[in-house]
Structures are given as C-alpha cells and as structure tokens.
A and B are shown apart, each in its own frame.
Chain A
C-alpha cells in the first residue's frame, strides 16, 4: 500500500480515476476536434497549417445557418411535445396509479427494441402504403394516400417525440414523487381548488424535473442524425446530416469538425438560455 502523506495527496489520488476518465474520454477528443477544425483538407491530404478558414466558411454559409436553426427548432418542438405529453402520464403514475412499478415498466417497453427499429416502425406507419394511409383508405376518409405524413419536419418531430418519451416521464415522475402530500392538504385547507392547487403547489415544485426532462431531450435531439435521414426527406434534414456528409462523401474532416464544434456551441447557448429563463419563471410562479 502506498502511504499517503497529506490530505492533498489523498485528494489527488481519490480524484485521479475520474480525472483520467474525463481526460481521455472528454477532454482529449475535444482537443482533437478543435485541432482538426483549424486544419484544412486538400483532396486526399490534410494541410496542418492552423487557420480559421473553416470557421469563416461555415459562418458565412446560409445553408449552415438554415440547418442549425432548423435543428434547434425541431429539437425545441420535440421537447415541447414530449414534455407536454409526458407530464400527465408522470402525474398519473405518481399521484393516482396503484401499481407504480408495473406502470414504470410498461413505459420502458419501447426501449426493449432498438432505436433504429422504432424509427422504421414510424416509417411503416406513416408511409405511402403504410398503416395510417391504408386505414384511412379502407374507412373511406381519403381517396388517395396522403403524402404529407412522411419525409418532412413533422415526421421527424413525431418520431423523436415518441422515441424520447420515457426520458421525459421519468425525471418528472421523480419530482412529483417527492412532493409532500401535506403541502397539497394545506393548500386545500387554505381554500385552493384543484386547478389552483396544481398551478400554485404541484407545478412549481416540479420545475426542476421539467427542466431536467427538457435538457435530456433537447440536447441529444438537436444532433440527431438517423431520424432525419430516414423520415426527414429533404425538408427535414438537420445539421448532423451535413456533418455526416463532411466526414463521409465530402471527405472533409476539418470542416466536419468545425461544424460539430459550432453545433455544440449553439446547443450549449440555447440550453443555458433555457435553463436561466425556466428557473426564473419557476421562481416567479412560486
């Protein structure tokens, strides 16, 4: 055994595994990404002179702006839809359901199959001769298959909202679970009706859960690649698809690295703005 002399040495030794882990898996890749973004690609070789040319190119390109904005808007729509649909479910499980464990288990069932399969399932449902169109045709509501169901932003939002639902339900459930029932009783004693009690006690107390759910959904969906490429068509393409092109067909890793970094910055900025405004709002309604 190594004998540790001081508190400092003990502290360093204790935090070393975590530091190494973060260093190798987070810091080092980030350094590589930043370095790559300052190099330039020329046909099959990489020019290693440091330059900001890629940033200039990316920031002046209206296509990058469009895709970045669209990615953030799609992710925001997914977040709003998912959280709005998840809240009543979480509320039901936390407040009303008898067999909470069974309900929680049922919610995770979609996760027993691969994410890719769930995306394909939506393709089958929304497709030209898919479940939805066949059903509507059979009932006689429509004469021709609807084509606006698939290959657009709507399909991307729908697919992502379904795929991420449990991630929203669980944090909200936890925050609802923590509410002391005596607070609700007190609100009733003080003359609050059902709706008022929800708005003045339950909702403010679950703001941390809602914020967590929003971040858990918003951050990964901005960079989603497979959903837009399968159900997005050309109107539903997102920034990750452009990044993939740079690392694949275009064989321009430096530009791909630049776009990745810019996407990270944009997501980080949007997330910080959201957290600050959400917590501010939470305090206000309390």
Chain B
C-alpha cells in the first residue's frame, strides 16, 4: 500500500538525518494509529528535528475511557461528534484561532461543523474529513440499481455488512428513512422508523464490522456485495483492483465526518510547541500529502489547489461544497437519544 511505503521513506530519511534536537518528542499526542506519519507535519520536523511522542487508541470510546481514567497528553485526535461529550467531561481547553496560522485558509463550511466551535469557542482544529457511505461491488450491482434500501432487500441475504457502531448505523438508517436532517434529535416515530429499517437489514447482515480490514477483505473476496463503510475502504478496494465504489449521490444518501485535533486539559507543553504542531498539520503541503498518499480530504482549502487533480477526482472529493451541503453530518447526537440508540442497536444485533 502506498501510504506505508511513503511512511517508511520519511522514517528512513529522519533516521538518516540523525542527531535530534531535544524537545520535539516532549509533545504528547493521543492519536489513531497511522497519524504519526511525518508527512503530515513536515514543518514541525524541520523546526524540532524530532517527531512528537504518540500514544494510540483504537476507538473514540476507548480514548474517552482512557482519558477519564487519568491518562494525560497535550493533543488528541477525536472526531467532531465526540467534542461535546469531551467538553462536558471537562477534558479540553479551547484553542485560540489567532494562533492558528492556517485558520483563514480552512474550508469555510468545515468551520461551521458542530463541535468544531461551540458557543463561539474554538475546541477543535479540523484536520481531515471524509465520507461514510454505501460501498458496493460494481460487477454485482448496477449504478442505477444501487440505493440504501437495497441493503434490506432479501435478495442480498448474507451479502451486506454495516458497522458495529450505533451512531453510524443510525446515521445510515436516518438517511434511508428520509430523516437525515433530524439525525441528532430524532423524534420517537423517526427513531422507530430507523430501528425498523435496521431490523429489516439485520437478516442480510453477514457481520457487523468493527475493523475496516475485515470489511475490505470480505468485499474483495466477494463474500459481501455491499457495505456501509468509510471512504478508506473504497480506496483500499480501488488500490486492490476490486470493482467497487462508494455511492456518492447526495440524493441517495451519504454521510460526512470531520476529525481534528483538540488540546487536552492535562497538557503540559508550551503554547508555542502545541501550535507549531497544529500549524504544521494544517499546512497546504500536509494537505497535499494526505490527499495524494492517504486518499483523505484535508481541511485546508489551499491543499486542493496544489494536489494532483486526477487523484482528487478519482477519490471523489472534487466538489467538497456539495458534500458539506447535501450529506448527513456525524454531529453529536442528543445524549438521551444516543443512549437509546446504543440500547436499541444491541437488541437489533441480537435479533430482537
């Protein structure tokens, strides 16, 4: 895979550069694994000659639990839907947009996403975003035929997978039942409709995926014909020459997520060092790198101008504006509704 090769190359280059200045590794980052890729923060590397220290989490819930139990770091990398909860749990300190040198160049729509700013305070610097959508095998299902309702079609028994995550499943269900706009605050009837949809999908579900690799392999082998998944899976399938793509028709239903960096209350590093990393991450060059070698769209609008236009088109984000306007956003769901979703989803998975 492309990104590993590039990662290895940068790692080799750093090792060759040798003697590191003290201090770079003093910055503690709590991140998803893979984001320690030095292509993302070249400016930080040229200033400190040493990468920050990374600790990894596998899911946002795991990260939250670990932070609640007293784990400390300077920066963390959740997605926008987690920010409200993390703020409520008093884990974060707000960011200062004046110190973010690339703030003005950010996609204007991304600044409006719920959780990035709450009540006029900036809590998260958006870094990357992407889609969660219906990926399907183009050799098995036609472009005209594909809809979210097809997931519930008995013809596809044992041929579909959806995530083992209540919020993502209910986002799918809200889109499929026409209630995407109310996803974060579904009424009782809307919630019922969404649950009914998931119950119809359940008999078709081969497995509820919890790691994307499991889904990618099953899509590639033909075990699955459709899956509700992240754009990373689509790219893995493209790179693997599997005839598959994501249904990107906004009218048929697609969701968008935004992730970024938040500053933790337990942070001990200096303002300068924290903002050096944030500014390095948000540089257009970092954006070009993540777009071209990871296939993730970046938050900086300038990045799209300098990145390879063919790749942008192939990966399906040549028109970010349309996604921001027409897709469902993974915003923080109302806490009581979220608890209800989690409970109901466990039931649905067990066949109740």
Contact = CB atoms under 8 A, between A and B. Distances in A.
B165 A128 contact: no
Contacts of A145: 223
B61 A234 contact: no
Interface string B21-64: 00000000000000000000000000000000000000101101
Contacts of B88: 43-44
B111 interface: no
Interface in A211-238: 229, 233-235, 237
A242 interface: yes
Interface string A62-88: 110011000000000000000000000
Nearest to A248: B61
Contacts of A43: 85, 88, 335
Contact of A237 (B61, B64, B335, B350): B350
A233 B206 contact: yes
Interface stretch (B145-153, B274-282, B317-325, B339-347): B339-347
Nearest to A129: B221
A145 B218 CA distance: 13
**Contact-residue size bin, chain B (C-beta under 8 Å from the other chain):** 20 to 34
Contacts of A62: 352
A128 B223 contact: yes
Nearest to B60: A249
Interface in B85-139: 85, 88-89
B202 A234 contact: yes
A212 to B, nearest CB: 33
B7 interface: no
A232 to B, nearest CB: 9
Contact of B62 (A63, A245, A248, A250): A248
B160 to A, nearest CB: 12
A138 B334 CA distance: 53
B351 interface: yes
A57 to B, nearest CB: 10
B166 interface: yes
Interface string A36-47: 000000011000
A164 interface: no
Nearest to A237: B350
B70 to A, nearest CB: 15
Nearest to A70: B350
A62 B346 CA distance: 12
A127 B218 CA distance: 9
Interface in A141-185: 145, 147, 151
A24 interface: no
Contact of A251 (B65, B207, B208, B347): B65
A111 interface: no
Contacts of B158: 147
A234 B342 contact: no
B210 interface: yes
A6 B61 CA distance: 55
A250 B343 CA distance: 8
A43 B222 CA distance: 41
B335 A242 contact: no
B349 interface: yes
A65 to B, nearest CB: 11
Contacts of B165: 249
Contacts of B85: 43-44
A63 B208 contact: no
B352 A234 contact: no
A250 B342 contact: yes
A245 B342 contact: yes
B226 interface: no
B210 A229 contact: yes
Contacts of A242: 346
B59 A128 contact: no
A21 interface: no
B254 interface: no
B339 A147 contact: no
Contacts of A66: 350, 352
A46 B237 CA distance: 44
A234 B350 contact: yes
Nearest 10 interchain pairs by C-beta: A128-B223, A44-B89, A129-B221, A248-B61, A249-B61, A250-B342, A234-B349, A43-B335, A233-B207, A44-B88
Interface of A: 43-44, 62-63, 66-67, 127-129, 145, 147, 151, 229, 233-235, 237, 242, 245, 247-252
Given A250-B343, A251-B65, 13 more contacts: A44-B85, A62-B352, A63-B347, A67-B350, A128-B222, A128-B223, A129-B223, A147-B158, A147-B223, A248-B62, A248-B65, A249-B342, A250-B339
19 contacts: A43-B85, A44-B88, A63-B352, A66-B350, A66-B352, A67-B350, A128-B221, A129-B221, A129-B223, A147-B206, A229-B210, A233-B207, A237-B349, A242-B346, A245-B346, A248-B59, A250-B339, A250-B342, A251-B65
